[in-house]
A = this chain, B = another copy of it.
Amino acid sequence: LSRTTKAGAAVPNADVQLRTKMRPSQDRSRATFEEILTATGELLADIGFERLTTNRVCERAGLTPPAVYRYFPNKYAILAELGRRLMSAQDIDVLEFIDAGGGGRDDLELEVSRWVDSMSRTVQITRDLPGGIWVMRALRALPNLHHVRLRSRDMVAERLRRQWRARGWKASDAELELASRLTIELMYSATEMVVEEPDLDGPKALEETARMVVLYHRALP
Minimum Cβ distance to chain B for residue A48 (Å): 7
- Chain A residues 125 to 150 lying within 8 A of chain B, measured CB to CB, are 137-138, 140-143, 146, 150
Secondary structure call for the A interface: helix
Is the C-beta of A216 less than 8 angstroms from some C-beta in chain B?
yes
How many copies of this chain sit in the oligomeric assembly?
Answer: 2
A208-B193 CB under 8 A given contacts A138-B141, A140-B137: no
| Residues in B whose Cβ lies below 8 Å from that of A140 | 137, 140-141
Contact A216 B205 (CB under 8 A): no
Contact A182 B212 (CB under 8 A): yes
Q: Can you list 15 residue pairs at the A/B interface with Cβ under 8 Å? A: A49-B141, A50-B142, A137-B140, A141-B141, A146-B196, A150-B197, A182-B205, A182-B208, A185-B189, A185-B193, A211-B216, A212-B213, A212-B216, A215-B215, A215-B216
